[in-house]
Amino acid sequence: MKPLLILLTVLAIVWLLRGARRVPPPPGRPDASARPTGRAVQTLARCAHCGMHLTAADSQRRDGQAYCSTAHRRAGPRAPFGRR
């Protein structure tokens, strides 16, 4: 019975010490998880010819469709995948 009491006491001390390390941030300072990462969200576009995904800023547009390269823009759209 005595070893069980000692074990429970040690576990309680460890549990209390682990909880003491998790101190909330002081008021007025956001915690690390709430800080912005500095990365902007970018919209993806799909090439109408080959289907490759790329950022909308990097795509070339023609007739309202996005293309990954000049060659694919010149070639034009292809049939959707699975219907060739």
What residues make up the domain containing 58?
43-79
Residue range 45-70, pLDDT digits in tens: 999 999 999 999 999 999 999 999 99
Residue range 3-39, pLDDT digits in tens: 999 999 999 998 888 776 666 666 766 655 666 667 7
* 19 in a structural domain: no
The Cα–Cα gap between 82 and 51 comes to 12
* 61 in a structural domain: yes
User: Any idea what DSSP says for residue 40?
Assistant: P
* 57 in a structural domain: yes
Closest CA to 84 of 40, 44, 56, 51: 51
* 7 in a structural domain: no
**Model confidence, pTM:** 0.49
Q: Cite the DSSP H helix spans in 1-68.
A: 2-21
* 74 in a structural domain: yes
The Cα–Cα gap between 25 and 71 comes to 54
Domain total in the chain: 1
* 52 in a structural domain: yes
The answer to whether the CB of 66 falls within 8 A of the CB of 52 is no
pLDDT value at position 27?
Answer: 72
